[in-house]
Amino acid sequence: MFSKLVARNSKRDRKNNGLYFGSMIISIIAFYIILSLSHQDIMIFLKKMESDAVNRLLTIVPIFYVATLVILFFLVYFASSMQMERRNHEFGVYLTLGMRRKKFFSMLLLEDLRSNITALGIGLPIAIMISELISLVTAKIVGLGIIGHRFSLSLTAVAFTIIGFMVVKFIAFVFLSIRTARKEIGELLTQAPSGVKRRLPKGIYLLGSIVGSMLLVKAYHYGISGEAWDSTRNMGITVLLGASGTILLFFGMRLFIDILVNFGRKGQLHAYNFRQIQELVIHRSTILAICSLLIFSALCLFGAGVAISANSSNKQVHILDYTFKDNDLEADEKIDADKVIRKLKEAGLESEFEKIVEIKIGDLKGNGEISFENLLGILKGFKDSKDRKTLIHNLEQYSDCKLISLSGYNELREAADLKPIKLKKNEASLYMDKEFMLDEDLMNDVVKANLQIEVMGKAFKIIGDVQSLPIVTDREITLAVAMIVPDDVFIEYTGGKYSNYVSGILASDLVKEKGLMKAISKTNEKLDQSYIGYESYIQNMGRQLFFIISASYITIYLAIIFLVVANTIIGVQFLMAQRKSYRRYQTLIHLGATYETICKSSRKQINWYFGLPIVIALANSFFGVRSLFTGILPSTVRANASQVFVIAMLMIFLLGIFEVIYMGIVKRNSNKYLLSLMEPQREE
């Protein structure tokens, strides 16, 4: 009999609190996915390339895990306390009928344990499938699927997900049980009315709104201008201003809700709806403000994570597959194409390479200088823009300029299916890294304006477009500014002292047959057995993918947790407040209100109750995403900030759809409860 009672109560609670139960399942899924990160194909691949960086990332994961467990505890405690408060009358009846408190708490513990096991039983299989799907999709996108995908089940992630979830639920249960144990039977049987808060003068609410708005504007300014990222102190001030401003704005919002009662279209139960919302805001303005801040944080994190992920791919043309180095050479010796070809022959790899490219790069001999005065003068004559100002500043601060031999660079252009550059003795081409020059069209216009650059007192006419092909496979090694000059000029101005960079391009037939990733992987295995060092394209892809993982996985994970917590708190709050107001709804029914009318009234209240924190969060996120981009975006991505911002706004819009779905769930639960009130009930 006792076990049947536990099973029935547990099932009923899950049915009546579907929003809370669903949130627990989502939390379980999020926990497993983040904890199983090390077992995904993409992370296994990255460990081969960036083991130190990956290990550092994986050491941070437990910190996020513990932090989200703390957040989950407050959600569980808050939602469970409201759930137990709703059952106070039921608990009082059990005790009145003679149930001992020890057995009573055993019943509650078993009910909670049964619900927890059900949530884990649903959440873990879904989490494993989603984790596997993420691994497969990521491997497919980056071309790793052909290397070999294996199904992976992280038993450690399963164990810590179960332990963390159960511990949080148990601790919350203990605290709530102690609170319930202190209540007398009469207190449990009596329905507690909603508390009444004393109304303050309207001027105080107006002042709160004004001060809150001013604090938010100041926080926006700190964030977008970049001042917030200058120091930990500035960041703390910005967060404090934003949080305080939002709380004060919600505090003063009750004044505007009062004004809305007298304006707008007067529909059925118009005044009643706004009075209900006003009462909810008055009682819970601080909690609503915190929920709004959580949604704001989630929107910013999700938008920034997806935008960075979508734009983190390097836009450089992929030409070179390998850059070689010879560890046997002395410090003053240079690697050259002949030595590399000889080493490849010894390793039996000569046929696997279609082309070996050798590029010479050197500094000016002696204390030779290059003057950018003509370039700066032309640049200053163009239309003012942010990129122009940045470029002028960079060139004024930059004094180092390399020389590149024309023949080597033409080999690179040939490999890229581009026409070779032809230069006379007094001509040169300008080479600039894309990150440094910011605006390629602007620099090409500068070159067309009869640009000349002085090298050791001699003027060189700059012709053609600005060049920016990658010199080596390692995209972390770049040349900010360089000049491509004829070979004889190169030797003359460098004094014969220069560095050689030898790179290789895999045979097109090999790549076509096996695919680029597999071809490089197989070649790596053979090169590892030889005595020649190398840097491969796949290693650079590893660095790029690590940035995607660290920037997007973590931010999206936190965004999901914040959204679940905020929406669950808002939804549970409204549903519990609705149950406390059951006598008001019964009065409306006695006065002739139909089920459709009451449901319509409830839907409007839900729209407003969810809408207030969501709208303010959306408004804050518009500036918050801009602030995040200012502080965390690398300069390569920041150059496409407008495109990134559009992507972020699109993701925020999609998350808005998620909010609508959440509101729909709350509306269905509300309608179901209101339907139960339509049947006449006996007053106890």
In DSSP terms, which residues pair with 309 in a beta bridge?
none
Reduced to 3 states, what is the DSSP secondary structure of residue 324? strand
pLDDT at position 4 is 76
3-state helix, strand, coil in the chain (%, to 5): 70, 10, 20
- The percent of residues above 70 in pLDDT, for the chain, comes to 76
Q: Tens digits of per-residue pLDDT, 348-381?
A: 777 888 888 888 888 888 777 788 788 888 878 8
pLDDT at position 631 is 62
Length of the chain: 684
pLDDT at position 99 is 76
For residues 546 and 508, the model is more confident at 508
Check whether 490 has a pLDDT greater than 80: yes
Q: Please say whether the beta carbons of 159 and 46 come within 8 A.
A: no
Q: What is the mean pLDDT of the chain?
A: 76
Read off the DSSP letter of residue 311.
Answer: H
Quick one: pLDDT band at residue 597, thresholds 50, 70, 90?
Answer: confident
In this structure, how many other beta carbons lie within 10 angstroms of the beta carbon of residue 203? 9
In DSSP terms, which residues pair with 483 in a beta bridge?
403, 430
pLDDT at position 684 is 45
Report d(CA 81, CA 71) in Å as an integer. 16
pLDDT at position 437 is 72
Non-local CB neighbours of 452 within 8 Å, separated by 6+ positions = 374, 459, 460, 461, 462
Quick one: pLDDT band at residue 651, thresholds 50, 70, 90?
Answer: low
Report d(CA 470, CA 503) in Å as an integer. 11
Quick one: pLDDT band at residue 146, thresholds 50, 70, 90?
Answer: very low
- The percent of residues above 90 in pLDDT, for the chain, comes to 0
User: What is Dmax (Cα atoms) for the chain?
Assistant: 105
In DSSP terms, which residues pair with 467 in a beta bridge?
431
Q: Tens digits of per-residue pLDDT, 510-531?
A: 877 776 767 777 787 777 777 6
Q: Which residue has the tokens 């790596």?
A: 524
Check whether 43 has a pLDDT greater than 70: no
Work out the angle at residue 402's Cα, subtended by the Cα atoms of residues 396 and 404, and round it to the nearest 5 degrees. 140
C-alpha closest to that of 436 among 387, 376, 474:
387
Report d(CA 276, CA 268) in Å as an integer. 14
Q: Please say whether the beta carbons of 411 and 357 come within 8 A.
A: yes
For residues 119 and 521, the model is more confident at 119
Q: Tens digits of per-residue pLDDT, 462-483?
A: 888 888 888 887 665 677 888 8
Q: What is the mean pLDDT of residues 434-438?
A: 73
pLDDT at position 659 is 80
Torsion of CA 69, 71, 73, 75, to 10 degrees: -140
Q: Please say whether the beta carbons of 356 and 337 come within 8 A.
A: yes
Q: Please say whether the beta carbons of 431 and 462 come within 8 A.
A: no
Per-residue tokens: 108: 């509650």
pLDDT at position 332 is 45
Q: Tens digits of per-residue pLDDT, 652-684?
A: 677 778 788 888 888 888 888 888 877 655 444
Check whether 633 has a pLDDT greater than 60: no
Check whether 192 has a pLDDT greater than 60: no
Beta-strand runs (E) in 437-518? 452-455, 458-462, 481-485, 499-506
pLDDT at position 236 is 81
Pairing of strands 481-485, 427-432: antiparallel
For residues 639 and 26, the model is more confident at 26
Per-residue tokens: 236: 């703390």
Report d(CA 302, CA 553) in Å as an integer. 9
Quick one: pLDDT band at residue 548, thresholds 50, 70, 90?
Answer: low
Q: Tens digits of per-residue pLDDT, 94-116?
A: 777 777 777 777 888 888 888 88
Q: Tens digits of per-residue pLDDT, 315-351?
A: 556 778 788 876 555 444 567 778 888 888 877 777 8
Report d(CA 232, CA 641) in Å as an integer. 24
Judged on CB neighbours under 10 Å (0-12, 13-18, 19+), 232 is exposed
Q: What is the mean pLDDT of residues 61-75?
A: 78
